[in-house]
A and B are shown apart, each in its own frame.
Chain A
Amino acid sequence: MLGKLDWSAIPFDQPIPLIAGAVVLVAILAVLIWVVVKGHLPYLWHEWITSVDHKRIGVMYILLASVMLLRGGSDAIMMRIQQAVAFQSQGYLPPEHYNQIFSAHGTIMIFFVAMPFVIGLMNLIVPLQLGVRDVAFPTLNSVGFWLTATGALLVNLSLVIGEFARTGWLAFPPLSELSYSPGVGVDYYAWSLQISGVGTLVAGINLVTTVLKLRTRGMNYLRMPMFCWTTLASNLLIVAAFPILTATLAMLLLDRYLGFHFFTNEAGGNVMMFMNLIWAWGHPEVYILVLPAFGIFSEVVSTFSGKALFGYRSMVLATMAICVISFMVWLHHFFTMGAGPDVNAIFGIASMIIAIPTGVKIYNWLFTMYGGRIRFATPMLWSVGFMVTFIIGGLTGVLVAVPPADFMLHNSMFLVAHFHNVIIGGVLFGAFAGFEYWFPKAFGFRLDERWGKLAFWFTFLGFYVTFIPLYIAGMLGMTRRMQHYDVAAWRPWMLVAAVGMAVLTIGVICQVVQIVVSIRNREALRDRTGDPWDGRSLEWATSSPPPVFNFAFNPDVRGEDAYWDMKAHAKQQQLEHDRPEYQDIEMPRNSPTGFVCAFFATIMGFALIWHIWWMVILGGIGAFATFVVFAWRDHDEYVIPAEEVARIDRINIEERRRLVSMAGAV
């Protein structure tokens, strides 16, 4: 009846996950009860859960990422403490638990923190920057988000029901095959990623189409803000690479569920095929993450330097070059497989070549700053911190891309330091820069600068104190994923890294405090003009937060830095020209399709993990029925009357007039 599920699935003998799970459960219940009692449920349902507004969906993505960042961060703290104490002893985490933690940490951080964070920012900002009212497929967008949330939910469920994979974040066979991992851990891993992978693919298709097809008048390709370009490149990579991940995991699942032999040791399976396929997705994936961050830095650096981006066209070229070359380097993740000098040399050289466009970008940012009037607001701090940090990470990347060096450093702590160096220093710093930069746009008030700067400095310092020691430990021969060790030379570095982790944690706490303080002081921090940073691109041309329809009139674009241009003209003409006649605007209706789909997908995923076949069928039918109902609905749009548009727009124009006249008076 319930497949493999019974009471032994609940880890009563392991206090840590059980208590953690109980606390989270109580917290969720408390929030739910509060929501229901206070009568917020209809608001949540109508304004958020069923919303197909790209801004709302973007915010929900970022919220998901932030919550999961706390979960992944707790895993990180536990691992750092374990390695600090487990010198010539077992530490406090038994091996099977430690292995689940590092696997969950990697999976969560890549798939449920970094991915939703950058996809959320792209969703939130790209339509605004393009000067349009929505993404290409609004309802599909909501489906994508909710499927991602389903994946995250399943991963967290594994904490209290069953177990998570102990195989690392990429579940390499033969360890992940049934013979070595008979439990449900790998199944939790694989089904979460299959379901959220569909969500990611959907988001990718949606954003590619949006950039290619929906641009306002005059917004031709070479006038798009840099963030739109990197969005295009990153989502092209999603569309091209995620199917590889899906197919690879599907093969692993066939091995596990139906006795196939794709990656088994026996019967002609080949484990190296898994390495090959998973990294053919895996390397593009790291650029899927970091390209949007590059875009964010481009926006931030040019805004806070008060200058147009230096070398815009070379930046576009570098972005597209990275997009293609990222598909030519994947073997650098398994040089040691033994494919021989020819193959290793070619892929090593290709890996070094990809550092060139990245270097071009760094120089462009530096030259953008050069001679500019730089304001070191929080987003700019993150950007400068990124440049310094990412250069180190890129250089160690080039180092391990040299095959002979990699034979020494592969799977050592040096490698761990490399990829945290580029992912924290690149992706996470980028996400934080974007968060600080666009928060006023999303919510209508600024974030507290003092706490923001504190958060930056603690995170920045904490990062170095945590990860430089890992580079050194790697040089001293320490391998990754050790539950305990006996080498005295590594011990001090593990202790330093634990201290660094504490500093990083303070940084995260500052960030939380920053949000709380800013919400408290929101009246004082209110952004009335919609343009708090003296921005250059179109998202600043509308109010903060923007109305559902983003723009009363789709703006006319005459060059790069569209909004900067408009401001320059407006100052000359004192905003004299009146707006043309307002018109009705049609917007897509809200739809519960995404939420309902994800509900059934959750049931189906859970049932697949536990081999509860009747429930699988139930979930499958439910998801399909949801799709049919959606496809047959008649009214998918509603009209916002012209008077309403006019009313909303006039408020915005008034505020802006005041801003311009104040600027004129100075």
Chain B
Amino acid sequence: MSDQAHVRTEHDLAPGEEEQHSVGERVIGYVVGLALALLLTATSFFIAGTDLVWQPSIPVALIVLAIAQMGVHLVFFLHITTGPDNTNNVLALAFGLLVVFLVVGGTVWIMAHLNQNMPPMDQIMPMRR
């Protein structure tokens, strides 16, 4: 609905709706994003198999790379910025992160306590008699 009547304040734009740069600039933005994403992906695959780094650091490195990957997607493809025209999107992102944190964190915590009310196994065995 391209309707002149639902006016938007300029602080209320959807991603990709910000004032249009020239096509060239936009293409460069996407290409940079793609390059970064590819670089991060390649690094992850490389790190996972390598023995050049201290082995226990590999999972941490993978997590860091994954988070960086999300950041690249958000900035270059979903056009999340910190500008005032992006309040809605940043809030939505924050809500999403909060939910993910609650559900994942809660799940890990709950499942770690799964067997709290079970008597220890070595006591069960003698009880069997």
Contacts and interface: CB of A to CB of B under 8 A. Distances in A.
B116 A134 contact: no
Interface stretch (A581-589, A613-621, A622-630): A581-589
Main secondary structure of the interface of B (DSSP, over half): loop
A330 interface: yes
Contact of B3 (A133, A272, A331, A342): A133
A202 B117 CA distance: 41
A134 B7 CA distance: 14
B120 to A, nearest CB: 14
A648 to B, nearest CB: 16
Contact of B111 (A134, A216, A276, A583): A276
Given A138-B1, A240-B95, A324-B98, A280 B103 contact: yes
Nearest to B109: A343
B115 interface: yes
A213 B8 contact: yes
A364 B14 CA distance: 35
B109 to A, nearest CB: 7
Contacts of B107: 276-277, 280
A331 B105 CA distance: 13
A637 B1 CA distance: 8
Interface string A13-41: 00000000000000000000000000000
A642 B32 CA distance: 47
A561 B71 CA distance: 42
Contact of A133 (B5, B99, B115, B117): B5
A277 B115 CA distance: 17
B113 interface: yes
A214 B6 contact: yes
B108 to A, nearest CB: 10
A489 interface: no
Interface residues on A, range: 35 or more
Interface in A330-348: 330-331, 337-343
A340 B5 contact: no
B106 interface: yes
Nearest to B1: A134
Interface string B1-31: 1111111100010100000000000000000
Given A240-B95, A338-B116, A331 B110 contact: yes
Nearest to B95: A236
Contacts of A554: 5-6
A339 B106 contact: no
Contact of B106 (A212, A331, A342, A587): A331
A357 B14 CA distance: 31
Interface string B75-97: 00000000000001000000110
A583 B5 CA distance: 10
A553 B5 contact: yes
Contact of B115 (A328, A338, A587): A338
A509 to B, nearest CB: 42
B113 A587 contact: no
B3 A339 contact: no
Interface in A93-146: 132-134, 138
B114 interface: yes
A138 B14 CA distance: 17
A215 B88 CA distance: 14
A303 to B, nearest CB: 25
Given A586-B1, A587-B1, A132 B109 contact: no
Contacts of A138: 1
Contacts of B14: 213
A585 B2 CA distance: 10
A327 interface: yes
Interface in A208-234: 212-217
Looking at B2, B14, B102, the one whose CB has the most chain A CB atoms below 10 A away is B102
Nearest to A214: B6
A272 B1 contact: no
Contacts of A583: 4
Nearest to B96: A240
A586 B114 CA distance: 58
A330 to B, nearest CB: 7
A250 interface: no
A340 B118 CA distance: 9
Nearest to A328: B102
A244 interface: yes
Contacts of B2: 586, 637
B7 A339 contact: no
B99 to A, nearest CB: 5
Contacts of A585: 3
Interface in A288-333: 324, 327-328, 330-331
Contact of B7 (A212, A217, A276): A217
Given A213-B8, A276-B107, A554-B6, A588 B113 contact: no
Given A324-B98, A339-B113, A340-B117, A280 B106 contact: yes
A561 B4 CA distance: 24
A339 B103 contact: no
Contacts of A553: 5
Contacts of B98: 324, 327
Contacts of A44: none
29 contacts: A133-B1, A213-B8, A214-B6, A216-B5, A240-B95, A240-B96, A244-B103, A270-B111, A270-B114, A272-B111, A272-B114, A276-B107, A276-B110, A276-B111, A277-B107, A280-B107, A324-B98, A331-B110, A338-B114, A338-B116, A339-B110, A339-B114, A341-B116, A342-B113, A343-B110, A343-B113, A554-B6, A586-B2, A586-B3
10 closest pairs, A vs B, by CB? A340-B116, A338-B117, A554-B5, A339-B113, A240-B99, A340-B113, A327-B102, A343-B113, A280-B103, A214-B6
Given A337-B114, A586-B2, A588-B1, 18 more contacts: A132-B5, A133-B1, A133-B5, A133-B6, A138-B1, A212-B88, A213-B8, A240-B95, A270-B111, A327-B98, A328-B106, A331-B106, A338-B118, A341-B116, A342-B113, A343-B110, A554-B5, A583-B4
